[in-house]
Amino acid sequence: MEIKKGIAVSPGIAIAKSLVIDSEDYRIPRRSIMPSQRMAEVQRTRNAFKGAISELTQLESVHDSTEGGKIKDIFAVHLRFLHDRSLRKRITDLVHSESVTAEYAVSTTFREIASHFTKEKDSYISERAADIYDIERRLLRQLLGRKRENLERLTEEVAVVARELSPTQTAGFNKKFVKGIASDAGGRTSHAAIVARSLGIPAVVALEDLTETISGGDTVIIDGNHGIVIVNPDDETIRQYEKYSLEFVELEHKLDAIKQKPAITRDGVKITLLGNIEFPDEAELVLQKGGEGIGLYRTEFLYLNRPTEPTEDDHYQAYAETISVFKHRPVVIRTMDLGADKYTQSRRFAPEPNPFLGLRSIRFCLQNLTMFKTQFHAILRASVLGKVKIMFPLITNLQELMQAKMILRDVMEDLDEDSIAYNKNIQIGIMIETPSAALTASTLARDIDFFSIGTNDLTQYTLAVDRGNELVSTLYSEADPAVLRLIRTVIQDAHKAQIDLHVCGEMASDPEYIMLLLGMGVRTISLTPPMIPEIKQIIRSVTMEDCNNVVRKVLAMNSERQIASFLRDATRKILPEAF
């Protein structure tokens, strides 16, 4: 039994057999074979080596004449590995001794070798682990053909274990079969984590080397409440976790009982709870959980898993479906936030060197006007169906806002010319996700109807910590005094300008920050649907005086640690069951 600690990103407990997939979605289950099949598997292994060697030799010869040098050296190293007889013997011995498939023997052997490399202190040697994985993948491609696993068509319950998952991969998981998710990489606010939370699948990320210590088919416990993953747990541990899992489900039922009650503090202050969604069908879940509208529709997910761009009608249908659930309630449609960790299929293979600081979000839209206008057409057409609002992500300065508004006006004129109905007074808001926007909030506020604070990006950009990088995940915290100071400024500027203010980053889904946000003056939050009942319970258990006291104390503290631990203790007193 091995216990690993990572970051809890989606609550709940999963106990299942692991399905280990690599970044190319290859699935390597531990599949036993009959003794009579061993020779055939050994032959498959030999063929795979042969195929990989010939592929590499060909590649090496091409690079030999063109670039020479470094690339040729890499191929030479890979070829040396593939020619190593003892390595091949180790794999075929495993096929014989354990009666397993060639792909399982290849994967297990290479992972063992890679784990020796990663443990080396010398960074040159430890970085060679990437080469080992590369060779492993080349062999697996030979063994499995080019076929990828279709994780949408699973037939048995599994816990998915991966080095890293993309938001698109995660969004494709079928909740009926994917009971839990564990990954080496990622952070609490990486988009794959956000999607796992929306789907309600327990998940732990930033486990660093889990994929090196686990094999497909191992039993695994994923504790999405405490960020713990247990590989091959003993019977007693399984029993304890089964009990704990039942208690957790009971707590959820208890919280679900208050979902239709208003989100009102004990002294009568009404808080509006909206939902964050990635797909239109999640709107129904927001409603079921007691949400009062959609505060963030991440429309870029319309682009992620299809080979071509969505048409105007695809957009329109998605918006209409969402609005149909909340006809008389706000639906905030965020224009596409592509780039960073969310690439369209066509841009996926040419990532930027520093994508979070690159052609992302509104910047991408302002350089791709046809795409942008298509989305505006659809939003405006849908605006007559309900209370639609438009929101621009990642605004960093006034000029970007003005440009975006100008393009929106152009599209409005087009619709006027074609006599197509739309809401001429549609509300326009921006996300405050960068320090530059937060520091100029009073100026930006003059030209819009609302702010929505995107604390995920605001934290990342303020602290210069990549929100999806497990190596710096301990440095990522909304409780940092710098982040809190910016949030407070934005709230105050919104109040002064008398515009609406929402908070829609993951901070709003985290019970530990609710009293602080309320005390700082927030009255509308948008959060991941499964967390709505728990957050409502906290709101219904406190008074504004409690919240103001929390703010007063936090503002007097200088360290993130002190603030985080104070907020944890304060919340534990209000909702001990959640801990």
Give the bridge partners for 500, in sequence order.
Answer: 450
**Long-range contacts formed by 109-117: CB under 8 A, 24+ apart:** 110/135, 110/136, 110/139, 111/136, 111/211, 111/212, 111/215, 114/212, 115/209, 115/212, 115/213
The mark string for 404-443 relative to Mg ion (x by CB under 5 A, - otherwise) is: -----------------------------x----------
Give the DSSP H or E segment for 110: helix 102-118
271: phi then psi, degrees, rounded to nearest 5:
-115, 135
Shortest reach from residue 456's CB to Mg ion, in Å: 5
Shortest reach from residue 337's CB to ligand PEP, in Å: 6
Residue 472 corresponds to which amino acid? V
Residue 112 corresponds to which amino acid? E
Q: Which residues bind ligand PEP (CB under 6 A)?
A: 194, 296, 298, 337, 433, 454-457, 504-505
Residue 375 corresponds to which amino acid? Q
Which residue matches tokens 């990549």? Answer: 466
- d(Cα 363, Cα 12) in Å, to the nearest integer? 37
Give the residue with the Cβ less far from ligand PEP, 81 or 297: 297
Give the residue with the Cβ less far from ligand PEP, 20 or 431: 431
Counting residues that bind Mg ion (by CB under 5 A) gives 3
Which of 186, 217, 454, 519 binds Mg ion (CB under 5 A)? It is 454
Q: Assess whether 191 carries a catalytic annotation.
A: yes
Taking alpha carbons only, the member of 250, 200, 207, 245 closest to residue 228 is 207
Shortest reach from residue 225's CB to ligand PEP, in Å: 22
Give the residue with the Cβ less far from ligand PEP, 225 or 455: 455
Q: Which one of 78, 191, 315, 377 is the catalytic residue? A: 191
Angle between helices 102-118 and 129-144 (to 10 degrees): 170
Largest alpha-carbon pair distance within the chain? 79
Taking alpha carbons only, the member of 330, 315, 301, 319 closest to residue 195 is 301
Q: Which one of 365, 377, 502, 504 is the catalytic residue? A: 504
- d(Cα 507, Cα 490) in Å, to the nearest integer? 15
Q: Which stretch binds Mg ion (CB under 5 A): 136-144, 283-291, 400-408, 453-461?
A: 453-461
Q: Residue 298: name its binding partner from ligand PEP, Mg ion, none (Cβ under 5 to 8 Å by kind).
A: ligand PEP
- Using CB atoms, what's the residue nearest to Mg ion? 457
Shortest reach from residue 453's CB to ligand PEP, in Å: 7
Shortest reach from residue 335's CB to ligand PEP, in Å: 12
Strands across the sheet containing 13-21: 2-5, 228-231, 219-223, 13-21, 158-162, 178-183, 203-205, 7-10
Give the bridge partners for 2, in sequence order.
Answer: 231
Give the residue with the Cβ less far from Mg ion, 107 or 509: 509
Q: Is 400 in the site for Mg ion (CB under 5 A)?
A: no
Which of 103, 136, 292, 457 binds Mg ion (CB under 5 A)? It is 457
Q: Residue 504: name its binding partner from ligand PEP, Mg ion, none (Cβ under 5 to 8 Å by kind).
A: ligand PEP
Give the residue with the Cβ less far from ligand PEP, 109 or 509: 509
Shortest reach from residue 451's CB to ligand PEP, in Å: 12
Is residue 315 within 8 A of residue 356, CB to CB? The reply is no
Q: Residue 233: name its binding partner from Mg ion, ligand PEP, none (Cβ under 5 to 8 Å by kind).
A: none
What DSSP assignment string belongs to 363-408? HHHHH-HHHHHHHHHHHHHHGGGTEEEEEE-S--SHHHHHHHHHHH
**If DSSP codes are grouped into helix, strand and coil, which group holds residue 243?**
helix
Residues 6+ apart with CB under 8 A from 348: none
Give the residue with the Cβ less far from Mg ion, 440 or 565: 440
> Three-state secondary structure along 150-171?
CHHHCCCCEEEEECCCCHHHHH
Shortest reach from residue 454's CB to ligand PEP, in Å: 3
Give the residue with the Cβ less far from ligand PEP, 113 or 185: 185
Q: Assess whether 504 carries a catalytic annotation.
A: yes
Q: Which residues are tagged catalytic?
A: 191, 504
Give the interface with Mg ion as residue ranges (CB under 5 A).
Answer: 433, 454, 457
